[in-house]
Amino acid sequence: MTKKVAVIGYPVKHSLSPFLHGYWLKKYNIDGEYGLLEVKPEDLKGTLARLESDGYVGCNLTIPHKEEAYRILGNNTGITAHSVGAVNTIYMQYGELWGSNSDVYGFVQNILNSHSDFDFTKGKAVVLGAGGAARAVVCGLIGEKVPEIIIVNRTVEKAEKVKEDLLKISDHVDGWEDNSDIKVVHWDERNEIVKDANILVNTTSLGMKGQPELDISLENIPKNALVNDIVYNPLETKLLKNAMEHGNFVVDGLGMLLYQAVAGFEMWFGIKPEVTEDLREHVLSQMK
């Protein structure tokens, strides 16, 4: 029987997930379908309740459903979903829906696959932003045992909340406790705080097509630090361009999107798909 999966969003037309999963379904010759479901917020609960009887083996969630899906699934969520407070991947387990957040895996794998010798434990990580994407990134950094994580945000209270939530959760996870010291600083300190950084990650929307540029000086950042932008449209953001000129290693944001999809595909279809240059080109061609 054809295995059906879809991305649920509102709106959802812009989603790149069908191209991405469609590419792998064809490549691995799997009897599967990956479609789009446009679902209004008030209809999400009902749609999820009917998911299995409608013939789906799982789904992805995108804007604006990730946080609500986490609330709906309650205890049927894993540690990554708890940390981020959002679910982006749903699959069936023991006849029930389960939710996870594969952005955490996507962030870490994107870095490690771009720079296999990158050592997260070597020093300080600076994270710009404190939204949902920042939560996934900080969660990934804690998991990789980064000794010091600095969250830089315009609204300090929001960053403090991310810190509080993630420290609370890390207390309950083996191997996480006492590993990462998390600090919060105001946005105005961004140019100085990158001094001694081992990795800098932009999780804000700044630099994205249609958004203001991210204004940050890289004068103080060590030349051997890695700079990652999770923005992937445009692929080469001003931050990455400046970092390259400064001599830093850079990692663009497209890989996070591709690697987060690996986790879902493997759960639904039983094959761990490969992220290749050809796949990147395929997805990029849909963005033009």
Active-site positions? Answer: 66
The reply to whether 197 sits near ligand ATR by the rule CB under 6 A is: no
The reply to whether 155 sits near ligand ATR by the rule CB under 6 A is: yes
CB of 108 to ligand ATR, least distance (A): 17
The reply to whether 166 sits near ligand ATR by the rule CB under 6 A is: no
Contact criterion met (CB below 8 Å) for 28 and 7: no
The reply to whether 127 sits near ligand ATR by the rule CB under 6 A is: no
Q: Which member of 212, 223, 244, 276 binds ligand ATR (CB under 6 A)? A: 212
Question: What distance in Å separates the CA atoms of residue 259 and residue 269, rounded to the nearest whole number?
Answer: 15
Residues in binding contact with ligand ATR, number by CB under 6 A: 16
The reply to whether 67 sits near ligand ATR by the rule CB under 6 A is: no
CB of 161 to ligand ATR, least distance (A): 10
Contact criterion met (CB below 8 Å) for 30 and 272: no
Question: What distance in Å separates the CA atoms of residue 205 and residue 129, rounded to the nearest whole number?
Answer: 9
Q: Where are the alpha helices (DSSP H) in the chain?
A: 17-27, 44-49, 66-73, 79-84, 103-114, 132-143, 156-170, 190-193, 238-246, 254-269, 277-287
* Residue 32 vs 132, nearer CB to ligand ATR: 132
The reply to whether 64 sits near ligand ATR by the rule CB under 6 A is: no
Q: Which residues bind ligand ATR (CB under 6 A)?
A: 129-134, 153-155, 158, 187, 203-206, 212
